[in-house]
Structure 1
Amino acid sequence: MNTILSIEKRNAVLSRMAVLLEQERANLKTINQHDLNNYSGEDLAMEKRLLVDDSKIDGMILSMQQLASQEDPVGVERFHFVHDNGLKIINKTAAFGTIMIIYESRPDVTVEAGGIAFKSGNKILLKGGKESLLSNLKIVELWHQALKENTISTEWVEYLNYNRAETQSFLEKPTQKVDLIVPRGGEQLIAFTKKHATCPVIVSGRGNNFVYVSQEADLQKALDIIINGKTTNIGVCNALDKVLIDSNLENWQEFANKLVSELQKYKVEILGDERFSKATNIPLIDNNEIWHEEFLNYKIVIGIVDSNEAAIAKINKYSGGHSASIITDKNTVAQQFMDKVDCAAVYQNASTRFTDGGQFGLGGELAISTDKLHQRGPIGLQHLVTNKWYIYGDGQVR
């Protein structure tokens, strides 16, 4: 298993996977319906992530086609140095080896994250949630079919059908070598993985994203961006949770009331800090701890700040380090905000919903990292590699 597959073989499997997903489209939707019927429905965001419909399958197919057409991320020269003594020293990208992905309720991860890990030369261990078991097993069956048809061992893609206790024991005492673990899901899943894992973990952390409406904001843009960030897909980490409005904005109270009426059209539960609540008759937040929360629901918290500096400080204190956007027509103000806010992705006049590997031109993502090591933000194909030094000599000694 240590020998890396040729890029032709890897691409052939990905291309075949795209074809099989199309062929099994109806079957996949039927099987997914069983998962949906078995799910209690207590968590709306979880249910949205569990669903496999035509547009999700289109996304999976597109992801496989894009991955198959991308450059090989393995063996790329990153550094070249010739020593005075003639030694030729080269640093090149290398596959990790085995990557484990732990995730909840999203069968599309079984395709996309699996594909990214496989394309970058790694063996994949998939540990999905029990709520999507039938869908995941069907997709893994397709992976195995694509591998077999290309005379490649099915060990390259393995599904770990473990319960919580079995997962914990595997993390603490792996029965095979694991080089990297990527948990994708809520804060509890991430904390559980970090606590028990014995190898490096890339944290795909909470969202809790902010939009700051500054003094120089175009208010129509602000409304559109906030509505888009909050309502288009509540169950994703790039959704919007918090809005800050600059009190220096002319007639901010008028804008605040307009924003409330727009959000109410989408049945969003709105809570405000003292000044926002007073200006709009919106319920007051219970305490400041709520500023830390990621909602994954039709819920938003809105507050008033007195300066750009205050907005930056508040975001840096409470956000998940994922995404933050400033609405301003002043580029210097935007640049200052973007430089000082400590998030993986910072925006001027755009929705946080764009923080996504596909949207950023990476051809999909394994996860969105809120860690600073080893990669921050969307982790694409080109980030799922480590590196290795190659030194060529002809007898040099030191």
Structure 2
Amino acid sequence: MSIQLSLEQRNSVLHNMATLVHQKSELIINANQKDLDAYSGNDKAMYDRLEVDQNKIKGMISSLQQLTELDDPVGVERFRFVHDNGMKVTNKTASFGTILIIYESRPDVTIEATGIAFKSGNKILLKGGKESIHSNLEIVKLWHQALSENNITTNWVQYLNYNRTETQAFLEKPTQKVDLIVPRGGEKLIDFVKTHATCPVIVSGRGNNFVYVHKEADRGLALDNIINGKTDKISACNAIDKVLIDKNLPNKEDFVRNLITTLKNYNVEILGDESLSKYEEVKQIKADSVWYEEFLDYKIVLGETESNVDAITKINQYSGGHSAAIITRNKKEAESFMSSVDCAAVYHNASTRFTDGFQLGLGGELAISTDKLHQRGPIGLQHLVTNKWYIHGDGQIR
């Protein structure tokens, strides 16, 4: 672990990095174009996550700027106690030390995750996917420039340009101390890391998010919510894959037909349970296993449900534990739904697309955890710390 940097030093690096990303945006985009040209797959979600345009550059800069404005998460007092013998005891937040993030295709993670880890006093090891190598290395160059301009060693940010075999070897027997690993990607990546890692792992798991249209829903609001959640960004883990519609929704037939027509306008493939597959444009699901799937595509499942309790039960059985929303005018039913659904983020009359560290005021995110320890949901600045006990005495012995 390196000697802890002051808040002023950390903020200065982040400020410099925001300036460099603005100044060197064309270099980043040109490097990214090499990655896009080399990408030979047909995964639309992967391509979307891989691409860097001016909007993503603006997002990178905004994330860095928001981080500089946030309070220092290190050294925050959590507990104070004076012992009978006069010892003064405090418990304060402390940096983890070194964090390894293993991620696929998203060059913006090289900005966001590094910024959050660095601001919270952690050294970060970055292991990106081969599909984004040019983009990642260009961004890491800028991190090293920002560090050097502040007379800080570039060891705070390291890129591990390893293949799968080298990565496995590092996970099983790290060549340097690693205090925490965060895999951010598909289920195969997560399983690979969990199988081979020899230090704590926080899982950034699958989405498979649900919207429940309650019988007292505002139908226009429900339609807008579903369309936004499904079509705004199909590659996002906070996108919607499943919709449950209360069978007692007034004018349900009109709502369903309007929803189907609108989804079809966005070229969304629609699957449905037995009750909703009667519509010509809806294919009946062939197996219940589809309820478990995260699509990351223009694909959605519609189902009918008996009640709030029925919706909660189904979501808790099939969802990825990421995000779920209820659309209703009934605040009591909304509170029941939100307290009972076992997801990291629960919504009332709002889109699940807001499950994002930057959108929720965290200055970005390292990942979105579907674990319950030590942090659930977006892992932001204040979550990348552990704690430490400080005891001051004047000769006490036990």
TM-score (norm 2): 0.99
Task: Tell me if structure 2 keeps the 8 A contact 1:273–1:304.
Answer: yes
Amino acid at match of 2:43: D
Q: How many residues align?
A: 398
> Residue in 1 aligned with 2:289?
289
Question: One-letter code of the match for 1:339?
Answer: S
C-alpha distance in 2 between matches for 1:69 and 1:394: 39
Instruction: Give the 5 Å matches for 1:1-398.
Output: 1-279=1-279, 282-398=282-398
Larger deviation, residues 204-213 vs 38-47: 38-47
Aligned residue for 1:147, secondary structure, equals helix
Following TM superposition, by how much is the alpha carbon of 1:279 offset from its aligned partner in structure 2, in angstroms? 4.6
> Which amino acid letter does the alignment assign opposite residue 174 of structure 2?
P
Q: Distance in 1 between matches of 2:210 and 2:370?
A: 15
Q: Secondary structure at 2:99's aligned position in 1? A: strand
Contact 1:124 1:156 (C-alpha < 8 Å) held by counterparts: yes
Q: 1:361 & 1:41 partners in 2: Cα distance?
A: 34
* Structure 1 stretch displaced more, 26-35 or 278-287: 278-287
Instruction: State the one-letter code of the partner of 2:64.
Output: M
Alpha-carbon shift at residue 254 of structure 1 (Å): 2.4
Instruction: Give the Cα separation in 2 of the matches to 1:251 and 1:148.
Output: 64
Return the offset for 1:328.
0.4
Can you give the 5+ residue segments of structure 1 that lack an aligned partner in the other structure? none
Distance change >3 Å, CA 157–CA 281, structure 1 → 2: closer
Aligned to 1:75, the other structure's residue is in SS state coil
Identity of aligned residues (%): 69
* Per-residue deviation, 1:62: 1.2
Deviations 1:179-225 (A, max 9, x none): 00011111111111111100001111000000000110000000000
Deviation string for 1:97-125 (max 9, x for gaps)? 00001000010000110110011101110
SS of the residue corresponding to residue 300 of structure 1 reads strand
Cα shift at 1:280? 5.2
State the Cα deviation string for residues 216-253 of structure 1 (Å, max 9, x = none). 00000000000000000000100000000011112322
Deviations 1:64-97 (A, max 9, x none): 1111221111011011111222221100000000
Q: Quick check: 2:235–2:297 contact (8 Å CA) kept in 1?
A: yes
SS in 2 for 1:181: strand
The answer to whether the 8 Å contact 1:256/1:280 transfers is no
CA distance in 2, matches of 1:253, 1:87: 70
Asked if 2 retains the 8 angstrom alpha-carbon contact of 1:256 and 1:279, the reply is no
Instruction: Give distance in 2, aligned partners of 1:136 and 1:363.
Output: 20
- CA distance in structure 1 between the partners assigned to 2:282 and 2:29 by the alignment: 42
Deviation at 1:397, TM superposition (A): 2.5
SS in 2 for 1:324: strand
Aligned residue for 1:226, secondary structure, equals: helix
d(CA) in 2 for partners of 1:282 and 1:7? 56
Give the letter aligned to residue 293 of structure 1: E
Kept after mapping to 1: 8 A contact 2:260/2:281: no
One-letter amino acid matched to 1:162: Y
Q: Is the 8 A contact 1:208 1:242 kept in 2?
A: yes
